[in-house]
Each structure stands twice: as C-alpha cells, then as structure tokens.
Amino acid sequence: MFESLQERLQEAFKRLRGKGKLTESDVNEALREVRLALLEADVNFKVVKSFIARVKERAVGQEILESLNPAQMVIKIVYEELVALMGGESVGLNMADRPPTIIMLCGLQGAGKTTHAAKLALKLKKEGKKPLLVAADVYRPAAIKQLEVLGEQVGVPVYSEGDQASPVDIAQHAVAYAAEERRDVIIVDTAGRLTIDEELMEELQQIKARIQPHDTLLVLDAMIGQDAVTTAEHFHTKLGIDGVILTKLDGDTRGGAALSVREVTGRPIKFVGVGEKLDALEPFYPDRLASRILG
C-alpha cells in the first residue's frame, strides 16, 4: 500500500532536493505533484485541497525561499502537515474509570467487525484484561457462530442469546452479565448491512443509548477507497463515533482513507487491521505512516 503515493511524492521532491535556492514556482510545481499523488491515492479531494493550502502557506514564505536548504524545509513541512492531518498522536481505547469498559463496534457488512472484535479481545487479554465478546449481530447468517469460533480461538468468552432476541436487549443483558462474571471490558459486535441503511442506524442508535459505550468504534474497510470517507461521515453524523479501526491495510489499497478520515470526521484512526490472522492488529501511528509515505 501507499507505493504509488510514495513514488509520486519522491518524484515530486527529487527535483527540489538537488536544488539550492528555490523560487515560488519551484514550490508550486512540487506541490502540484503532491496534489496529484494524493488524489491518485484516493485521498478525498476536499482534504487534498485544504492540505495543499496549508503546506503552501507555510512553504512559500520568504524565510524558506531564502534558507540554505529550502527543499529539505519544504519536505519537512509536508511531513509535519501529513502527521497533523492524521491527528498527530497515536490514540488508544477510551477506558472506563471504573470497569467494565464498554466498546461498541459498528460498520458495514464485510468491513471486518467480527474479526476485529476478536482481535481487540486478544489484544486486551494479552494486556491482562478480562474481555467479554457480545454477539449482537442477529441478522447475518452464521455471524454468532463465527464470533463463537473466534472467541474460542482467542480464549475469550462470548455472550449470545441466539438470533431471535433483540440486539438492544442482548447488549444490555451482556453488560449485566459482565458485571456478574467480573469481566472488565465488553466488546459488542453489531450488525452491518451492505450499504448504509436507516433501519440499521436506528438500531445502532438504540444500542448506543442503552449501553452508553465508552468507545464507539467504526470498523472501516480501507479497500473501498473514496466510499470510506462517505461511510465514516455518515456513521459519525448519525451515531457519533469516537474512533476508527481501518481494516485490510495489508490488501491492495491505495490507502487514501487513512489520510482522509480524521480530517472529515474529526475522529482518530485508533487501530489498523493488517491481515486475517487474529494478531494482525496494530496501533495507528501518524508519524510512522507519514515517514513511509514520504519514503
């Protein structure tokens, strides 16, 4: 991933790197390449526009044009603005002051919710927590079974009431159950649909209102390109999310979602999914990604 973006940006800076003093038009030309590279990587066009404007404002200042190593300074500005665009810091889970912490996962069908519920459970277990997985996707055939199988693989119990109960009730009962069983983190796997659907949103709103999660995370497939931004915007407007788990970054994605989500929703990408295996979950580090992009 990001290879094309990386190559394009390197190309854009190659000419600058060799130069001593820059003119304003050198900077403009390089930024035009940066702009194209970002658009080609599927970064949302509004995000690209404001990003380029911010870089330009800083890069065409006299100080830089007259500095000894202006190209390096422009590259540094692009790096800093990329980090800022992705939110700066790495952000972890919101944990409750007093357990149990309630985490609600939402997203479109196929985004990787069930898989990432299990990945999170495994991560928390390794950190010494006692998670509980909750099967609140009662519509997708075999979703409950899938969660039970994954729960078994990671050694974390799964709370389910079958597919006839209401997901809102299941979620609420699970919170009570967790308290009885002294489980300290509850991870609720909710239903998705192939496309955004109002009925689903209403159900998610009801679950959220009933269990009041400490962290509502959107599981978002990086492979869907520009649609990732629309999906994130919609879920955030309708439901209110606290963060994003961006999945399938190991796949053949141009990665634009990673650069757009924060700017569009104001919410951080907290984790990235980098494979089907249950340990293929990583914290999201804006600075590392920015370095990789610049090459």
> Which residues are known binding-site members for GTP?
107-114, 189-193, 247-250
At closest approach, how far in Å is the CB of 194 from ligand GDP?
A: 10
At closest approach, how far in Å is the CB of 208 from ligand GDP?
A: 17
Query: Tokens at residue 4, please?
Result: 């094309």
At closest approach, how far in Å is the CB of 92 from ligand GDP?
A: 19
Closer residue to ligand GDP in complex, CB, 100/112:
112
At closest approach, how far in Å is the CB of 25 from ligand GDP?
A: 43
For β-strands 269-273 and 281-283, DSSP reports them as antiparallel
Closer residue to ligand GDP in complex, CB, 99/275:
275
At closest approach, how far in Å is the CB of 259 from ligand GDP?
A: 18
Closer residue to ligand GDP in complex, CB, 64/108:
108
At closest approach, how far in Å is the CB of 230 from ligand GDP?
A: 17
Residue pair 134/105 in contact by the 8 Å Cβ criterion:
no
Closer residue to ligand GDP in complex, CB, 225/275:
275
Closer residue to ligand GDP in complex, CB, 22/231:
231
Which residues are at the interface with ligand GDP (CB under 6 A)?
A: 107, 109-115, 192, 219, 247-248, 250-251, 273-276, 280
- Please state, in angstroms and rounded to a whole number, the distance separating the CA atoms of residues 238 and 233: 9
At closest approach, how far in Å is the CB of 274 from ligand GDP?
A: 6
Closer residue to ligand GDP in complex, CB, 112/151:
112
Instruction: Please state the residue numbers annotated as binding site.
Output: 107-114, 189-193, 247-250
Closer residue to ligand GDP in complex, CB, 35/123:
123
Q: What are the φ and ψ backbone dihedral angles of 31, each rounded to 5 degrees? A: -70, -30
Q: Which residue is nearest to ligand GDP (CB)?
A: 273
According to DSSP, the residues that pair with 272 across neighbouring strands are 246, 282
